[in-house]
Structure 1
């Protein structure tokens, strides 16, 4: 039984290492892509700050509040 190096053993070992390397890179890339997609979906589902109108009591988006149509509404039209 011969335990020395042969060209076939070296090439097979090198190919197995390369295959494992690329497989780990691929799996990592897929996990990163999934995490990015999850983060984007979570960002789209975020709650917005709501502010009550002091005149009518309706809750409006604090960033883009518009006038409710009443005379003393403090928000622009």
Structure 2
């Protein structure tokens, strides 16, 4: 199992942090990621959930062969569950 963890999103949106993390595991540029994230989850909604500093909670979803967890501080964990 491979895993990527990011620090706080900082100036990057939660959705862009997810895209970059999955692309890193795939070994490809983020612009070449297929299917696009918006086929799996609404990136605007994901960004809005974690836009404020007072955000709480987490969102967990599957994208490609990965389990993606986005925490309130835009900390992202992507786990690859392929053998």
TM-score (norm 1): 0.20
Structure with max Cα Rg: 1
- Larger helix proportion, structure 1 or 2? 1
Higher relative contact order (Cα pairs below 8 Å, separated by 6+ residues): 2
Higher strand fraction: Structure 1 or Structure 2?
2
